[in-house]
Amino acid sequence: MHFGLITPGHYPQVAEIYLAGIKTGNATFETGVPSYELWDKKHLPFGRIALFTGNKMLGWAALSKVSDRCVYNGVAEVSIYVAPGSARIGIGTQLLIKLIEESEKNGLWTLQCGIMKENTASIKLHQKCGFRKIGYREKIGKLHGVWRDNIIMERRSRKQIFN
């Protein structure tokens, strides 16, 4: 297995894994996969990583801005998706650890995520990698006509990056 940066050429595999996450009904409020251009615009230029075996993508992770306000330049939202058939073998853990490293190399001090409360595997993964629950958003959005709650988690960097 090896890590690689996500390039436009990898996007069909990113999209396939993302679609599988959408189909679970517990990974995202999105109901369709965006074009590469929209996905590219949404995510930061660094921290777009994938784990491969040969040319096959086992999972991917990326970071998004949480706000355009300059005070939040050190804060990003985490997206992480593991391919069907690659769950529960440590792929998510490897991706999240690598994403944390990349975030700190680029001066981020806080990573955050909102996880549907039913997605216990993702909650446990994030806790394993140093995230803590900081709250929840009750009925934050509807998915297929059903109100869903999100568990809000964050991880503060342990590196001395504060100036």
From the list 147, 153, 160, the residue with the least C-alpha distance to 29 is: 147
**DSSP result, 105-147:** HTT--EEEEEEETT-HHHHHHHHHTT-EEEEEEEEEEEETTEE
Band of pLDDT at residue 75, cut at 50, 70 and 90: very high
In this structure, what is the dihedral angle of CA atoms 74, 123, 82, 44, given to the nearest 10 degrees? -10
**Structure confidence at residue 59 (pLDDT):** 97
Q: How does pLDDT run across 8-43, given as a tens digit for each residue? A: 999 999 999 999 999 999 999 999 999 999 999 999
Does position 161 have pLDDT exceeding 80, yes or no?
no
Helix (H) or strand (E) holding 153: strand 146-156
The CATH superfamily assigned to 2-156 is Gcn5-related N-acetyltransferase (GNAT) (3.40.630.30)
Question: In whole angstroms, what is the distance from residue 104 CA to residue 154 CA?
Answer: 14
Is 82 a residue whose pLDDT tops 70? yes
CA dihedral 16, 19, 21, 25 (to 10 degrees): -160
Query: How far apart (Å, rounded) are the C-alpha atoms in residues 95 and 98?
Result: 5
Q: Determine contact, residues 101/116, Cβ cutoff 8 Å.
A: no
Span of 75-84, 139-148, 151-160 with lowest mean pLDDT = 151-160
Kindly report, residue by residue over 101-117, the tens digit of the pLDDT. 999 999 999 999 999 99
Q: Which amino acid is at 141?
A: G
Q: What's the pLDDT at 87? A: 84
